[in-house]
Structure 1
Amino acid sequence: MMVQRPQIMHEQSLSRAGVPALFFVAVSALVALTWWWLGKPVPMPAAAAAGDKLQCVSYAPFRGEQSPLSAGTFIQAAQIEDDLTRLKQLTDCIRTYSTEHGLDQVPAIAQRVGLKVIQGLWLSSHPEKNRQQVESVVALAKRFPDVIQSVVVGNEVLLRGELSGADVANFIRQVKKQVSMPVTYADVWEFWLRHREVYDAVDFVTIHILPYWEDYPIPAKDAAAHVGAIREKMAAAFPNKDILIGETGWPSQGRMREGALPSLVNEALILQEILALANQRGYRVNVIEAFDQPWKRRLEGTVGGYWGLFDDATRQPKFQWGAPVSNHPHWLSQAGAGIAFVAIIFAAAGWTRRSDAKADSSVMSWLAVAIIALAGGTMLGLAVEKTVYESLGLGAWLRSGALVALAAFVPIATASTVMRRATVPSFAGSLARGEAAMPARPDIVTGLLVVAVTVLAIQIALGLVFDPRYRDFTYAPLTAAIVPVVVLALFSRWSKPGLAERTAASVLVLSAIYIVFNESFANWQSLWFCALLAALALSLLLRRSVPGAQS
């Protein structure tokens, strides 16, 4: 027996080493499989021929920090010409909305490039600016009658409530007397039904149909059919005049509205379905829009900046017409980074086991580490990707940076805490660095990270309660950060919850209930986010002692 004992101990050692290796391989495979599924290209409709040009595309020249909201913004002619040269490969027509900020240069540049222009005239509640717009557009129409094929007098000014229908009709008649080309007005389709006096004044009707922004948002799978149905409805309501769909499209980034999910695949698919339907039924369509417009994010959140066919920074197409499209074209790199992060988490747990004589190396502890690593490995890359799209302004970058930092550090810290069987202190204990009857071996760092996760989760939740329309559901970084907290609640020892924990849990649960019903059960981003809030709340209240843990 004495001879066999070293062999038995060696086999047990190999067995203990094999458990984390097995879990690591399994988690890495799941991370790779998840990213493959997220990144696989989706085929586009066969009817979308890559060589076909779009009928017309909305164009705004603003890049990066440039914004029409700033009075001093002026776009140089070279920048506009660069854009229009790129657009010439995609369309023979562009629609503009104003003559301010250098946009009065567009007709001359379009003439050189070989593009036609639907010229916009911006109307607002400012009489002097309206007068200047009318004068500048009339002058351009007289100077470039072969380039400007029609004039749009006002864009969604009725929607914004800045002018009455009678006022808009008067401006239309004023412009019609001075130009030779057809004159119209553009607004969301519903406002045409409410203002017949505008219909009487225009040469043709220009309607906006944006399924994502409907009062009852339309899911991506029904978007093209919705556009077709509204177009037919408007044709029945206004049978004696031509109808142009002046804006239609879909965002590639941003938060869900009920069942309407922004994504690059959905943008490409919906646009190609809409245009195929338009070609089949023979009606005119202008797509919004040519280039992503970051400045719109200040008004409409993340989703406002990503309606373009071209990326703002690279000025390259976001997808190729007719070709398969991936929502995550760099998924292979993200999968590799996720597996590397899984390795870091397992390495942290392994180092803790080797350096701490009292560390727990049971199968259950390694299972806990595996769950933590799976959440971190799948979500950290997505959290970083979304940070790039969702952060605008110093405050947003700081918050997004804090979320990504938590998504990175919480999994590592909690994996170590699980292996050490350390006690996670209460909020008071973490912040005060001491409390009465402090349990043995407290993990202050993990306790502070749990506090930080809770504070950020509450801040984001309350934003979605009181001002939700343009706020994103930051489910990716919160998944990487909250799942480890849930694992701690199940596998580690915690100090007794205090008033802070109970208050935080109440706020999280009440917020989750409100958000779920406010966003509807069709919004899976909302459901995911609210499930995280509920799980975090439960973790703050649930205190479980692992057998054998010190008290």
Structure 2
Amino acid sequence: MPSSVRLPLVLALLVCGLIAGLWTYLGRPVSMPPSPLAAGEKLPCVSYAPFRDGQSPFQKGLVIPETQIEEDFVRLAQITSCVRTYSIEMGLDKAPALARKHGLTMLLGIWLGPDADRNRIELETGIRLAKENPDVVKAVVVGNEVLLRGEMSATELANVLARVKREVGGVPVTYADVWEFWERNKGLTENVDFVTIHILPYWEDLPVSAEDAGPHVDEIRQRMAEAFPGKEILIGETGWPSAGRMREDALPSPANQARVMHDVVALAKRQGYRVNVIEAFDQPWKRRSEGTVGGHWGVIDADTRLPKFAWGQPVEDFPGWRMHIAVGILSVIAVFGSALAAARRREEPVRPPEWYAIAAIALFGGATLGAALSALPLESLGFVGWLRNGLILAAAALAMVTMPVVIVRGQGLAPFSVALDSRRWPATSGAAIASAAVLALATIAVGSVAFELVFDPRYKDFPVFPLTALVAAVAAPLLVRRADRDGAGLAELIAMWGLLVAGIYVPLNETLANWQAAWFGTLCLVMAFTLWRVQAVQRRG
């Protein structure tokens, strides 16, 4: 074997081994506590919304086909004995009859909002259904978080509750809202048979980790029981998302979702209180208002219509980890392959430090590119979302095969103007133009994400996987080459300071418990340092 091939081959094999080891470790199933449900036992109740991909409650005139609701109830009857609905319209007036057909009971929801005409229809239909189906409708939930949204006053809501309670006969009546709003409006208890509270540890003002979510739910429930003596407390919503961005140390993941469900159901059984899980099926439409995390609260996957986990059984956080390894190995081949092809046209041998820099590109890119592919459909919403995230992923892949060639050609990082000013192209090498173009793409990619996470972060993801591959490829030439001396200007300076500020602000704003934010902040700082090197060399020149 020629000596010129031996080192890159050894490095490529080493990088492949590291990638395989990393994803084998991360892909291992996470063990769960014993199932809180006895053999044949089902969840006490789950929230149900009938909307599938392409459907939403904001579509005027939409009526969910009765067959679609029945398909859902057939699946739900396998895991629960009760469903909680939120409105009567869009075909859900057929739900009580379908629930009876499949052995389900209901917490029948009546939606209230600012539209008086819609409220009237919901109330009239909901009261009628409750009176006609007392064997199925075990309670009427009049309004959902209407106080939280500020769409009704407590006085207006109390009057509506009193009306429903008079007209539904003996069917219990309640109102559902986040627990803090019940604490602020205790007078509502005069018009309800029991208090329905929502406890969502992930969405708390001070987010609660998955590990502490179960005890947190139990603590809040006990606090509410003390605040409303003599009234039963129903936990009307509690759960955990399986995908999305972290909030402080609250991490959405399949394993964390399963763990929170195990803990909450076990505590409810042990303490003897009722709990309703949010939610039955993932609701893709919620991603538009709540980001990626909004569409992944279901215990049943939106696409496969299958449960996301089995009670008491281990859960994989990265079910595609084998694909990640395969993509990683292909990435390593592409990185070293492009470098070796460029090395054939180089007179002197490629130096070991240059191969080490190329190996760094292969390692960071190969370790993250597969995960970036898996995250793409999760984090991309609509044409703009797919376009942006697709371009970032494409830029990462392009950088991984371009920057090794730049290194082998002996080219350092070049400022933006080398690529953007066509007047310079005739006197500039292709490697320099490629270097400048990739640097500009990386700056735009990281900068656009940083802008969102600084000014409007609540529902924005941290796309760290594709950005890691991109940033590593851009920064690698600094390990072996100085940046070009000529052409750095105001654009690099502004971008450098912007990324420096974002790299510090984002992790501090999200708190250091959020490792996704810390990871993204590190990428911003690496890019800021990279741009500073271009600036620093230019100033010395």
Please, what TM-score do these two structures have when normalized by structure 1?
0.94
Q: 1:505 aligns with which of 480, 496, 502?
A: 496
2:430 and 2:436 mapped to 1: Cα distance?
Answer: 12
Deviation at 1:340, TM superposition (A): 1.3
Deviation at 1:433, TM superposition (A): 2.9
Please say if 1:529 is aligned against 2:520: yes
The equivalent of 1:30 in structure 2 is 18
CA contact (8 A) 1:125 1:162 kept: yes
Structure 1 pair 359/433, CA: closer, same or farther in 2 (3 Å)? farther
2:41 and 2:520 mapped to 1: Cα distance?
Answer: 41
Letter in 2 for 1:468: P
Mapping for residues 36-47 of structure 1, pairs under 5 Å: 36-47=24-35
Please say if 1:272 is aligned against 2:275: no
Structure 1 pair 275/341, CA: closer, same or farther in 2 (3 Å)? same
Query: For each residue in 1:392-421, what CA deviation from the matched residue of structure 2 results, as whole angstroms up to 9, or x when unmatched?
Result: 110000001001101211111111111111
Mapping for residues 373-384 of structure 1, pairs under 5 Å: 373-384=362-373
CA contact (8 A) 1:124 1:162 kept: yes
Deviation at 1:495, TM superposition (A): 2.0
Structure 1 pair 176/544, CA: closer, same or farther in 2 (3 Å)? closer
2:372 and 2:33 mapped to 1: Cα distance?
Answer: 31
2:259 and 2:27 mapped to 1: Cα distance?
Answer: 16
Letter in 2 for 1:505: M
Mapping for residues 140-539 of structure 1, pairs under 5 Å: 140-179=129-168, 180-354=170-344, 356-358=345-347, 360-435=349-424, 442-496=431-485, 497-539=488-530
CA contact (8 A) 2:405 2:431 kept: no
User: Which has the larger displacement, 231-240 or 445-454?
Assistant: 445-454
2:356 and 2:163 mapped to 1: Cα distance?
Answer: 74
Deviation at 1:357, TM superposition (A): 2.3
1:55 and 1:312 mapped to 2: Cα distance?
Answer: 21
Query: For each residue in 1:159-179, what CA deviation from the matched residue of structure 2 results, as whole angstroms up to 9, or x when unmatched?
Result: 001111111111111001111
Structure 1 pair 442/328, CA: closer, same or farther in 2 (3 Å)? closer
1:391 and 1:359 mapped to 2: Cα distance?
Answer: 45
Query: For each residue in 1:318-348, what CA deviation from the matched residue of structure 2 results, as whole angstroms up to 9, or x when unmatched?
Result: 1111110001112112211211111111111
2:527 and 2:69 mapped to 1: Cα distance?
Answer: 50
Query: For each residue in 1:429-449, what CA deviation from the matched residue of structure 2 results, as whole angstroms up to 9, or x when unmatched?
Result: 111134499676642123212
CA contact (8 A) 1:482 1:532 kept: yes
Deviation at 1:494, TM superposition (A): 2.4
CA contact (8 A) 1:184 1:205 kept: yes
SS at 2:147's partner residue?
helix
Deviation at 1:516, TM superposition (A): 1.9
2:416 and 2:437 mapped to 1: Cα distance?
Answer: 8
Deviation at 1:490, TM superposition (A): 2.5
1:388 and 1:41 mapped to 2: Cα distance?
Answer: 23
CA contact (8 A) 1:218 1:259 kept: yes
Deviation at 1:424, TM superposition (A): 3.4
User: Which has the larger displacement, 359-368 or 134-143?
Assistant: 359-368
CA contact (8 A) 2:496 2:527 kept: yes
- Aligned CA-pair RMSD: 1.8
2:41 and 2:215 mapped to 1: Cα distance?
Answer: 21
Segments of structure 1 that go 5 or more residues without pairing to the other structure are: 1-12
SS at 1:247's partner residue?
strand
2:86 and 2:60 mapped to 1: Cα distance?
Answer: 16
2:88 and 2:124 mapped to 1: Cα distance?
Answer: 10
1:334 and 1:524 mapped to 2: Cα distance?
Answer: 21
Query: For each residue in 1:252-300, what CA deviation from the matched residue of structure 2 results, as whole angstroms up to 9, or x when unmatched?
Result: 1111111100001100011111101111111100000000000001111
Please say if 1:64 is aligned against 2:38: no
Deviation at 1:360, TM superposition (A): 4.8
2:47 and 2:350 mapped to 1: Cα distance?
Answer: 61
2:325 and 2:318 mapped to 1: Cα distance?
Answer: 11
SS at 2:462's partner residue?
coil
1:324 and 1:506 mapped to 2: Cα distance?
Answer: 45
1:495 and 1:227 mapped to 2: Cα distance?
Answer: 57
SS at 1:206's partner residue?
strand
1:37 and 1:398 mapped to 2: Cα distance?
Answer: 32
The equivalent of 1:9 in structure 2 is none
CA contact (8 A) 1:490 1:544 kept: no
1:282 and 1:441 mapped to 2: Cα distance?
Answer: 71
Deviation at 1:113, TM superposition (A): 0.9
CA contact (8 A) 2:425 2:433 kept: no
The equivalent of 1:6 in structure 2 is none
CA contact (8 A) 1:489 1:544 kept: no
2:103 and 2:140 mapped to 1: Cα distance?
Answer: 18
SS at 2:242's partner residue?
coil
Aligned residues: 534
The equivalent of 2:8 in structure 1 is 20
CA contact (8 A) 2:443 2:495 kept: yes
Paired-residue identity, %: 47
1:437 and 1:491 mapped to 2: Cα distance?
Answer: 26
Letter in 1 for 2:495: A
The equivalent of 1:10 in structure 2 is none
1:296 and 1:171 mapped to 2: Cα distance?
Answer: 28
1:442 and 1:159 mapped to 2: Cα distance?
Answer: 57
SS at 1:177's partner residue?
helix
Letter in 2 for 1:34: L
Please say if 1:120 is aligned against 2:118: no
Deviation at 1:491, TM superposition (A): 2.1
